[in-house]
Structure 1
Amino acid sequence: MNRSRLTLSLALLTVPLAAAQTVAPAPLTVPGDTRPDAPELAARGQYAVGVRTLNLVNRGQQDIVNAPKEGAIPRYDRPLTVEVWYPAPGVSGSGSTTYPDVLGSGPGDPRRPNTPFETPGRATRDAPAVQAGPFPLVILSHGYPGSRILMSYLGENLASKGYIVASIDHTDSTHGDKAAFASTLVNRALDDTFVIGEMARLGAAGSGSFLSNVVNADQTGIVGYSMGGYGALNAAGAGFGPQMAPLVPGGAFAQRQVGNYTVDPRIKAVVALAPWGGDAAVKAIGVNFGGKYGFWEDAGLANLKVPTMFIVGDRDDVAFYEGGVKPLFENAVNTERYMVVYQNASHNSAPNPPPTASLGNFDDYMHYAEPAWDLGRLNNLNQHFVTAFLNLKLKGQAAAAEYLNVPVQKSNDIKFSRNADGTPKPDDTSWKGFKDRTARGIELYKLMPK
């Protein structure tokens, strides 16, 4: 081929490539944006989203971090920073904000310093709330360590669908202030129930809050990841076994044992994403005096009567699947429960995608990343399944059950069989809400109370 023909051929090849680049969609830069293969309920809802930060104080709490080895535990006023997402006037997805956070695993660690970064969001700071409620309340509870921003993709998404979402910075348990683990063990469920009460107070008529007449705390769900899932299960009734008492000084753990506390009746649903505390998880940290299911015995799991969705990777190496989350799902015998399993996922199936600031530090990056999955994809899947479950249990939308009562439990085994008009053929076993070839590597199980 002579030079002129070669030049012409190369020019012709570059034309369609250039044209394709001009119409390519913008990159997904905001956690929670939907990919083309996202399932139906992953999409943002009808509302724009507002966001505000609340500084709450739970007075007179036990100061577990400063508890002596023997004797009375001192008391202190426990601060809790809470990010609140809520339906706001405007076009869905139209807001823009950033959420400040830090990397690291507590203060003073030279290997993982508390490096500041920002997470982008599609909410409007301090916007008024839509007066179309009251809307069900969702408590969002992060891992250890974590932050109230760790699952901002899910908080914004649920708010756009008509939920009030309160995401807690659990004191002593964030990236910036991680302290004694005993504080997290005791305070997770206590923080959850306290914030439910505060949101109900702020949502009451005449409260003077932007949330007045907007919050229906009588229909509350708790969505917790890792230690957040551990706390959510306990708050909803899964009391711990007495054998775990030595982990916390001064007998403070007795208050979270089965039979020693009353479940807040406003809690109507729980989503436990990779909940920590099962037998394999407890043994992995060197505790050899756990119960039959780690922190739980049969009696504790039997006391969980709130409908619950478990979400877990079958390669979870922190909460574990076999010997960890799966036995909790199987033995919470007195409640309706679902379990979503992501094949080959490890423990990080819940957070936002890794921030750019984490790319230079392996440990910080792996605090977010899933080696076998794209986090944007997992975010979309969580948005879909959590929406279906909460719509069913908090809003009473019976049609939402169609997304959960799947005809085959393993998505890799489904048959997508449609007529020319798109209606299912008799042999179709696809999952509702998933387009052809998009349900892969997922399992979905359901058990009813005995």
Structure 2
Amino acid sequence: MKAVSRMLVLAVALAAAQVGAQEYYGDFRPDAPELAARGPLQVGVRTLVAEHKDQLDILHATAGQPNPRYSRKLTLEVWYPARLAAGQKEHTVYTDVLGAGANDPKRPNTPFQFNGRAARDAAPAAGQGGRYPLVIVSHGYPGSRLQMSYLTENLASKGYVVVAIDHLESTRADKAGFPSTLLNRRLDDLFVLDTVAAWAKPGSGNFLAGVVDADNTALIGYSMGGYGALNAVGAGISASAVAYVPGGSLAINQQGNQQYEAQRDARIKAVVAFAPWGAANQVWDAAGLAGVRTPTLFISGDQDDVAGYKDGVLKLFEGTVHANRYLLTYVGGRHNSAPNPPSPAAWSNFDDFMAYSEPVWDSRRINNINQHFVTAFLGIQLKQQPFQSYLDLPPLQADGTAKPDPGLWKGFAKRTALGLEWRHLPAQ
């Protein structure tokens, strides 16, 4: 019977792969909210590498050698508004890997491919109103720069340059000790921001020269990426959390540390934090969370058993008292509120499948809803677009209509906003 079950699973996966041969993650479902629709611009994509030299190699630090140094080579995927050549199409094939690190026999690193709606190495298109805002995307632990392509492609089609990071020692291919992720997420984010700002300068020789406005930046982070994004905009970790990394090295990210406070970056205008990790593990205290002043959109499932909800994401939402913030909650959702749907390649391994899927929610539906709200939020914060009415939402009745106002959540067709909760708290 077990053999028959495995054969059925593989047959279903094979059928799904054939049916979805030209599927693109993030495409607009019939029930998708309005702002999920792809934008008017064509999208290009390139892979670049940035090397952050002379960094602390925390995983090899010892009492006898507390300060070993190394270069952190970060692979970046860059999506951008493009000008396609004759015959060029918005189509590419991304190659990623399954698994949870290089040495896990239960989940070996297995390459898989999926389609992307972007033209590889296309020429960038000049912005009509100047340069495009920058969005930096940070994955979970482990994860990859490609795991939110439904969102990165969508944002590029709406006039953003989107740069997603493969964080060294934190991807599915090279997962290593957790202290590296705790220490380096904020540092990687800020380094990439500085790097793209240098590439954006006229005469840099990079294809982004004159294309991207790094002074107008948002951070999008998922799980540990959300931890890093909040840490980058003023959520200094607590004194007790410094002990999570041996040798006191994590104090560089600590609230009250003068070096940390001096590295607040005014170029970062907004944060989108998907299921950000840390609050349930006492990474922050009230003073640390109060350091955030950047407008923030939190997105989470209320059954998140990784980052936590009431003691996790909801606590972060309520505790960032000096930021204007929103919270979108998927009722019944767990931790996977951010990634692409699971590839058919993941269907033969339960753990790989569950690293992408949601038990209750359809991932494609989540993707569309994320596109809608992230478009509205970043449009307001980075482009001053008139999208505030998409965020000023009344509570819903069971039939999907608002009470006492009989209107709908703006952008949603009637009866399609079920299973969602929306909160807003202004900055104090």
* 1:176-255 mapped onto 2 (5 Å cutoff): 176-255=173-252
Deviation at 1:68, TM superposition (A): 1.2
CA distance in 1, matches of 2:294, 2:188: 18
Q: Paired residue for 1:82?
A: 76
Give CA-to-partner distance per residue, 1:318-374, whole Å, 9 cap, x none.
011111110110111101000000000000111000011101000000000101011
CA distance in 1, matches of 2:415, 2:117: 29
Q: Paired residue for 2:49?
A: 55
Deviation at 1:413, TM superposition (A): 6.2
1:346 aligns with 2:334: yes
1:405 aligns with 2:392: yes
Q: Paired residue for 1:286?
A: none
Structure 2 counterpart SS, 1:394: helix
Q: Paired residue for 1:304?
A: 292
Q: Paired residue for 2:9?
A: none
Match of 1:125 among 99, 120, 123: 120
CA contact (8 A) 1:70 1:250 kept: no
Q: Paired residue for 1:421?
A: none
- Structure 1 residue runs of 4 or more that deviate by more than 3 Å after TM superposition: 25-28, 410-414
Structure 2 counterpart SS, 1:326: helix
CA distance in 2, matches of 1:203, 1:411: 48
CA distance in 2, matches of 1:27, 1:363: 24
Instruction: Summarize the Cα distance change of 1:184–1:26 in structure 2 as closer, same or farther, 3 Å threshold.
Output: closer
Letter in 2 for 1:270: V
Q: Paired residue for 1:111?
A: 106
Deviation at 1:119, TM superposition (A): 2.0
1:323 aligns with 2:311: yes
Instruction: Summarize the Cα distance change of 1:411–1:30 in structure 2 as closer, same or farther, 3 Å threshold.
Output: farther
1:415 aligns with 2:395: no
Q: Paired residue for 2:422?
A: 444
Segments of structure 1 that go 5 or more residues without pairing to the other structure are 1-24, 283-293, 418-425
Deviation at 1:415, TM superposition (A): 2.1
CA contact (8 A) 2:401 2:409 kept: no
Give CA-to-partner distance per residue, 1:130-181, whole Å, 9 cap, x none.
1114000000010000000010111100000000000000000000000010
1:138 aligns with 2:115: no
Instruction: Summarize the Cα distance change of 1:181–1:48 in structure 2 as closer, same or farther, 3 Å threshold.
Output: same
Deviation at 1:414, TM superposition (A): 4.3
CA distance in 2, matches of 1:143, 1:28: 27
RMSD: 1.8
CA distance in 2, matches of 1:26, 1:449: 44
Give CA-to-partner distance per residue, 1:282-314, whole Å, 9 cap, x none.
2xxxxxxxxxxx110111011000000100000
Query: Percent identity over the alignment?
Result: 55
CA distance in 1, matches of 2:266, 2:64: 35
Q: Paired residue for 1:376?
A: 364
Letter in 2 for 1:445: R
CA distance in 2, matches of 1:54, 1:350: 23
CA contact (8 A) 1:412 1:441 kept: no
CA distance in 1, matches of 2:419, 2:21: 24
TM-score, normalising length from structure 1?
0.87
1:431 aligns with 2:409: yes
Letter in 1 for 2:354: M
Deviation at 1:244, TM superposition (A): 1.1
Q: Paired residue for 1:4?
A: none
Structure 1 counterpart SS, 2:100: coil
Letter in 2 for 1:407: P
Letter in 2 for 1:264: D
Letter in 2 for 1:171: L
Letter in 2 for 1:401: Q
Letter in 1 for 2:35: L
- Tell me the matched-pair count: 402
CA distance in 2, matches of 1:380, 1:442: 13
1:387 aligns with 2:375: yes
Q: Paired residue for 1:360?
A: 348
CA distance in 1, matches of 2:345, 2:297: 32
Q: Paired residue for 1:272?
A: 273
CA contact (8 A) 2:83 2:123 kept: yes
TM-score, normalising length from structure 2?
0.91
Larger Rg: 1
Deviation at 1:235, TM superposition (A): 0.3
Instruction: Summarize the Cα distance change of 1:69–1:31 in structure 2 as closer, same or farther, 3 Å threshold.
Output: farther
CA contact (8 A) 2:137 2:220 kept: yes
Structure 1 counterpart SS, 2:383: coil
Structure 1 counterpart SS, 2:387: helix
Instruction: Summarize the Cα distance change of 1:119–1:26 in structure 2 as closer, same or farther, 3 Å threshold.
Output: closer
CA distance in 2, matches of 1:447, 1:377: 26
CA distance in 2, matches of 1:406, 1:99: 37
CA distance in 1, matches of 2:22, 2:410: 25
Give CA-to-partner distance per residue, 1:166-206, whole Å, 9 cap, x none.
00000000000000100000000100000001111111111
Deviation at 1:427, TM superposition (A): 3.8
